Amino acid sequence: MGSCYKWDKSVTESRLVGIVAWIIAWAFIVAGIQAPVAGETLYNGITLGDKWPPQAEKLTRQPMPVPYLESPPEVILIDVGRQLFVDDFLIEHTTLKRRYHRPQYHPDNPILKPDKPWERGDSARAAAPFSDGVFYDPKEKLFKMWYMGGYIASTCLAVSRDGIRWEKPSFDVRDGTNEVLSHRDVEPASGGRYRDSSTVWLDHEDPHPQHRYKMFVTTPIPQRWSLALRCSEDGIHWSEPVATSATRVGDRTTVHYNPFRKKWVFGLRIGQSGVGRSRAYFEHSDAIAGTKQTAKGAVLWLCADHLDPHHPDPKYNNIEPQLYNHDAVAYESLMLGLFSIWQGPPNSECARLKIQKRNEVLVGFSRDGFHWHRPDRTRFLTVNPTEGAWNWGNVQSAGGCCLVVRDKLYFYVSGQMLGDRFWDGNCNTGLAIMRRDGFASMDAGEEPGTLTTRPVRFKGKYLFVNVDNPNGQLRVEVLTKDKKPIEGLSIENCNPISRDSTIQQVIWNSGKDLSSVAGKPVRFKFRLKNGRLYSFWISPDKSGASYGYVAAGGPGFTGPRDTVGKTAYK
């Protein structure tokens, strides 16, 4: 889906000239950057650099350095969200073994396919997010999926009560269809196609009801792609653009919101010598002003590196991977990133052979919103190159990344089949599911192991864990900053835990809670046997509410954060 045109040599050459011009223009933009002075201290104790965002002279195939892992804060603040063990940020010492996990595809995939006339155009079929967005609306108690209906032709909306069975209601935007924006509604200058990449966001923090939903969409206008922002109160009826970028943007540009810093982040699709498809970073506290300014002050940001997977087919294995797309969202105490890694073959080869290019999604994590740690390069959301598979090739993530559905995370992905029409079409939507917080676990076998945190500070009273050890045992003790056991909160006083639960309170038989050490630097020491520990967090009450962010939401949550704890499991 890298091109918005059917295969045509003259069009392709024209687009290549445009891309080269875009790269040259971008180089001048980057060279003129004057980054603001920052020094901001974040919710977790990380202090940003003197200049923010950081600047790089060029992108390379070396993995991105992550400063906060090299020099963690002296005391880590853990009041916001579940604390995940995806990296060593929280860990001072451990004998447990970290294991990364990936979601499993739902057996009924595809859960959405192009079965309506307006989704089955002359050139290709499509009913799948091209980023777009999947969110849970707590006001209507509905899952909502905005997706590409027909090949980059329109934006449609499907709804669901359970996130698995989806309906395509008939809206009053275009009678008899579930289209909420159509290429039929725009000027012919768009070439009959009004959109490429799009990001829809449910903005809980905007005080204006009519701006509750935001749609950032790349739209072709004469001579360049632009980014247009539309707003909506219900996600069905969208305004005319309230802002349009003044400069050219790449066609696969995406946007996400970083609530930890109250910034809209524009991941601008660019091309760079030596790394190919890549991303530049631009942030702004206001979505409208940010859309208008886009590349003003943007810096080079993300690309694929030498650790990313290559195409497994020997014919294409020598192709260097590229970063095709990046979606991100706040999940609990960190930013979750989904990286679509392109592995080839190039569009021209796909068109000749009528096959799909191979894009697969990998996962990454950030605690400052800019630097991404990608410790596991296992394909997270994969293709299935077997005859008839809905995801034969070109799997990509949805805007919002995932939803929290009781004790599970739901990931919605687009996948493309082989077909008898245009090679870059045949788009379907699939669902993949994994355990809540299940990205990584710290494991122990028959021989008990321990994990001791760095000094942490909090305000709450109750310790909760996400643990899977029905045939094992977990005990926890609280230590002073200099590693001395605190009376009443020792290993010996801890009631052993032997169960599989994503929200389990830790209790000491002394009757003490954590209020006596709240506000003081302490350490937690976990002793585990025969089990997996995924996360821990401090809650102000026995509901187990983490007050972290719940990605694109989910049933039971009233807003963007977990303020309800166990209630959401009902």
Average pLDDT over all residues of the chain: 91
Percent of the chain with pLDDT over 90: 83
- Looking at residue 151, its pLDDT comes to 83
The answer to whether the 9-34+108-435 and 81-100+440-539 domains have the same CATH topology is: no
Parallel, antiparallel or unpaired: strands 449-453 and 522-529: antiparallel
CATH number of 9-34+108-435: 2.115.10.20
Which range has the worst mean pLDDT, 57-66, 163-172, 189-198?
189-198
- Output b/e per residue, 336-353; b: 16+ Cβ within 10 A: bbbbbbbbbbebeebbee
Do 136 and 555 form a contact (C-beta atoms < 8 A)?
yes
Mean pLDDT of 445-456: 98
Which range has the worst mean pLDDT, 244-258, 391-405, 466-480?
244-258
The ranges assigned to domains in the chain are 9-34+108-435, 81-100+440-539
DSSP assignment string, 513-554: -STTTTTS-EEEEEEEESEEEEEEEEESSTT-----EEBT--
Peptide bond into 110 cis (omega under 30): yes
Token representation of residue 113? 């396919």
| E-only strand ranges, 421-530 | 427-435, 440-444, 449-453, 456-457, 462-468, 473-480, 500-505, 522-529
User: Does the pLDDT value for residue 4 go beyond 60?
Assistant: no
CA atoms of 398 and 148, how far apart (whole Å): 11
Question: How crowded is residue 521: how many other Cβ atoms within 10 Å of its Cβ?
Answer: 15
Parallel, antiparallel or unpaired: strands 322-332 and 334-342: antiparallel
| E-only strand ranges, 13-60 | none
81-100+440-539 CATH choice from 3.90.1720, 2.60.120, 3.30.70, 3.40.30: 2.60.120
Q: What is the pLDDT of residues 375-420, one digit of tens each?
A: 999 999 999 999 899 999 999 999 999 999 999 999 999 999 998 7
Do 56 and 300 form a contact (C-beta atoms < 8 A)?
yes
- Looking at residue 219, its pLDDT comes to 84
**What residues contact 449, with CB distance under 8 A and at least 6 apart?**
94, 95, 96, 97, 527, 528, 529
Q: Amino acid letter at 301?
A: W
Backbone angles phi, psi at 21, to 5 degrees: -60, -40
Mean pLDDT of 462-487: 97
Q: What is the pLDDT of residues 329-357, one digit of tens each?
A: 999 999 999 999 999 999 999 999 989 99
CA atoms of 126 and 115, how far apart (whole Å): 9
Nearest to 64 by CA among 380, 353, 372: 372
Does the global pTM surpass 0.85? yes
User: Does the pLDDT value for residue 426 go beyond 70?
Assistant: yes
Residue that wins the pLDDT comparison between 49 and 527:
527
- Looking at residue 264, its pLDDT comes to 98
Residue that has been written with the tokens 């540009």 in this structure = 253
Mean pLDDT of 300-324: 97
Sign of CA dihedral 205, 211, 216, 222: negative
- Looking at residue 199, its pLDDT comes to 98
Run of H or E including 186:
none
